[in-house]
């Protein structure tokens, strides 16, 4: 079974530029998550989707971050404009369903460096 796919793996941009990350979850997984992992810290949830609907985006900085999952399968996370403090690894995860019984599977992440 293929795992969670993410691209690109690495991205370097200048501040005030825009960037987008892509995630393809495990086939059949209804729930998709985006996490931000700043160097030396644990991952922090940015947004959670159930199919193509947003379940939780309370920690998403909505003035510059946006995410979509239009067809309920793959998802994109966008930052516009980027700030230096956005430098982090962006992790995508998926689970079969929402709820405590369902394990989250993580992709390899996209490492973003903002200069």
Partner 1 sequence: GNSVTQMEGPVTLSEEAFLTINCTYTATGYPSLFWYVQYPGEGLQLLLKATKADDKGSNKGFEATYRKETTSFHLEKGSVQVSDSAVYFCALRNNNAGNMLTFGGGTRLMVKP
Give the angle 40-48-88 at the CA atoms, nearest 5°: 25
Nearer to partner 1, 28 or 99 (CB): 99
**Pick 72 or 81: Cβ nearer partner 1:** 72
For partner 1, the closer of residues 107 and 114 by Cβ is 107
Which is nearest to 78 in space by CA: 46, 106, 56? 46
- Min dist. Cβ of residue 18 to partner 1 (A): 25
Cα radius of gyration (the chain): 13
Smallest distance, partner 1 to C-beta of residue 6, A: 8
- What is the spatial distance between Cα 88 and Cα 115, in angstroms, rounded to a whole number? 12
Q: Give the binding site for partner 1 (CB under 8 A).
A: 3-4, 31, 33, 40-45, 48, 55-56, 91, 93, 95, 98-100, 102-109
Q: What is the DSSP letter of 62?
A: T
């Amino acid at each position: 079974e293929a795992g969670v796919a993410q691209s690109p793996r690495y991205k370097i941009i200048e501040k005030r530029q825009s960037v987008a990350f892509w995630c393809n979850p495990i086939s059949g997984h209804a729930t998709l998550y985006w996490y931000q992992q700043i160097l030396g810290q644990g991952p922090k949830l940015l947004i959670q989707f159930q199919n193509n609907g947003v379940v939780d985006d309370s920690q998403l900085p909505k003035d510059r971050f946006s995410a979509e999952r239009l067809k309920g399968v793959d998802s994109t996370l966008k930052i516009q404009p980027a700030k230096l403090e956005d430098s982090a690894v962006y992790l995508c995860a998926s689970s079969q369903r929402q709820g405590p019984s369902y394990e989250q599977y993580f992709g390899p992440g996209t490492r973003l460096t903002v200069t």
